[in-house]
């Protein structure tokens, strides 16, 4: 891979990490177990992040946002995920839902939607997947037809993160079935639009604080100017969006892994077996060392991918290796998260299998990072296709 997109952490990045960590530990961590146990939305986290301006740092200053760079956004997500992955989906999904607008929407549509998200008055979710169109997203069946000065949407979207709490939804729908991927367009739907409804919450293994529901469109009518970009460009916009958001899933995975390692280090220092601390045993030390090495490697790969994403779309020309790097960051970091959290449970022994300690929740939460925004099998296909191109 090319070395362009190398990054350097600044004093501002360090300050952001310190500020978010303080908020996460004081105002988010105390509710994490309850949020998981009750499968309730982490409203305390949303309020705390919004009050500090960390709910959508990526939105440009022109629309009232912080205009933070991609690494800063990754740091925010990483530090929140370190204590509660469900809460980290507030900034992560705000970025996922709004990036298609930032990348491709008209100036009028940007001005209509982005300021409310930047101000924390609204959140935005992303509607691409369907029950029979997950990895094969181009097989979607949701349709949109032009009717005078409106678009009318019909269909169902599945696995929509933060559905019900978001006011805005970026939705992909087929406008020309004959063209398959080139017949897909992107739209912005508001929860008050006629014909739009949110389904019941899914019962999930992890990230239980973040509601995941279906979206229903039944003659859902929206103004014609809510199309994102030109008709038929929606799928291209979706692919470009992933170059900016797959690193954020990697950051989320790094945060989970770091939280699990921190908990394992503390527990093995305190727990005594055979007359000494568990952390004094070399086998345990080697496990902790491997966990730390894997996390640090994942963190740097994520930051490189994030930096490369910002430079890789410059001048209207896309870096041909960008997709490969972003896929690698997401796949590697999420695999690390699953391994590290599993090892953390092991290091806690029987206690790790109980809900009295956070590592079992972290292990359950980590699994989704290998699945959403493209399964890790899809990431490997992207990487292999780039290598063999």
Q: How many CB atoms lie within 10 A of CB 13?
A: 18
Q: At 170, is the pLDDT very low, low, confident or very high (cuts 50, 70, 90)?
A: very high
Final residue of a structural domain among 197, 228, 259: 228
- Provide the pLDDT for residue 306: 95
Structural domain total, the chain: 3
Does residue 238 share a domain with residue 382?
A: yes
Which residue among the candidates 79, 130, 360, 373 is catalytic per the annotation? Answer: 373
Per-residue pLDDT, 2: 46
Instruction: Report the b/e string of 26-61 with b at 16+ CB within 10 A.
Output: ebbbebbeebbeebebbebbbebbbeebbbbbbbee
Residues 183, 66 share a domain: no
Pair 367, 269 in one domain: yes
pLDDT digits (tens, 9 = 90+) for 284-326: 999 999 999 999 999 999 999 999 988 765 555 668 889 999 9
Give the structural domain span for 364.
234-387
Relative to beta strand 124-127, strand 168-174 is: parallel
Question: Is 381 inside any structural domain?
Answer: yes
Please determine, for residue 5, whether its predicted confidence score (pLDDT) is greater than 80: no
What does the pLDDT look like over 324-373, one tens digit per residue? 999 999 999 999 999 999 999 999 999 999 999 999 999 999 999 999 99
pLDDT value of residue 326: 96
Same domain, 372 and 238: yes
Does residue 6 lie in a domain region?
no
* Spatial separation of the C-alpha atoms in residues 321 and 231, rounded to whole Å: 27
Boundary of a domain, candidates 102, 118, 134: 118
For residue 216, pLDDT beyond 80 = yes
Q: What is the mean pLDDT of residues 96-100?
A: 98
Q: Please give the residue that has the higher pLDDT: either 178 or 318.
A: 178
Q: What is the pLDDT confidence band of residue 3, given thresholds at 50, 70 and 90?
A: very low
Of 118, 137, 165, the last residue of a domain is 118
Find out whether 256 and 341 touch, Cβ atoms under 8 Å: yes
260 with 332, same domain: the answer is yes
Radius of gyration of the chain (CA): 21
| 18 in the same domain as 158 | no
Q: Let me know if residue 218 belongs to a domain.
A: yes
Whether residues 103 and 139 fall in one domain:
no
Of the chain, the percentage scoring pLDDT greater than 70 comes to: 97
Residues 45 and 131 occupy one common structural domain: no
How high is the mean pLDDT of the chain? 96
Same domain (yes/no): 89, 171: no
Mean pLDDT of 65-80: 97
Q: Active site includes 61?
A: no
Q: Are residues 256 and 380 in the same domain?
A: yes
């Amino acid at each position: 891979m090319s070395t362009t997109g190398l990054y350097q952490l600044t004093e501002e990045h360090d300050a952001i990490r310190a500020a978010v960590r303080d908020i996460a530990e004081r105002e988010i961590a105390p509710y994490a177990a309850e949020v998981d146990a009750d499968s309730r939305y982490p409203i305390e986290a949303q309020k705390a992040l919004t009050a500090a301006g960390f709910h959508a740092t990526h939105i440009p200053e022109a629309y009232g946002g912080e205009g933070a760079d991609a690494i800063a956004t990754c740091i925010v997500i990483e530090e929140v995920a370190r204590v509660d992955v469900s809460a980290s989906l507030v900034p992560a999904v705000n970025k996922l839902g709004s990036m298609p607008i930032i990348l491709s929407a008209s100036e009028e549509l940007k001005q209509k939607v982005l300021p409310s998200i930047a101000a924390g008055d609204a959140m935005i979710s992303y509607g691409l997947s369907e029950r029979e169109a997950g990895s094969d997203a181009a097989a979607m069946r949701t349709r949109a037809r032009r009717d005078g000065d409106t678009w009318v949407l019909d269909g169902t979207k599945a696995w929509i993160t933060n559905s019900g709490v978001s006011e805005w939804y970026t939705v992909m729908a087929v406008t020309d079935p004959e063209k398959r991927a080139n017949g897909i367009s992107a739209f912005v739907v508001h929860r008050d639009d006629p014909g739009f409804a949110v389904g019941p919450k899914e019962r999930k293994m992890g990230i239980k604080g973040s509601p995941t529901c279906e979206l229903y469109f039944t003659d859902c009518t929206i103004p014609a100017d809510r199309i994102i970009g030109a008709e038929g460009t929606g799928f291209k916009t979706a692919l470009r969006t992933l170059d900016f958001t797959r690193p954020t899933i990697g950051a989320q995975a790094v945060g989970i892994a770091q939280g699990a390692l921190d908990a394992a280090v503390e527990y093995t220092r305190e727990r005594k077996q055979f007359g000494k601390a568990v952390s004094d045993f070399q086998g345990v030390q080697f496990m902790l060392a491997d966990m730390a090495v894997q996390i640090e490697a994942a963190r740097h790969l994520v930051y490189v991918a994030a930096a490369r994403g910002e430079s890789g779309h410059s001048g209207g020309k896309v870096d041909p290796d960008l997709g490969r790097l972003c896929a690698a960051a997401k796949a590697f970091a999420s695999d690390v998260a699953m391994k590290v959290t599993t090892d953390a449970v092991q290091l806690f022994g029987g206690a790790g299998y109980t809900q009295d300690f956070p590592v079992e929740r972290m292990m359950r939460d980590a699994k989704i990072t290998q699945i959403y925004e493209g399964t890790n099998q899809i990431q490997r296909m992207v990487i292999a296709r780039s290598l063999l191109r």
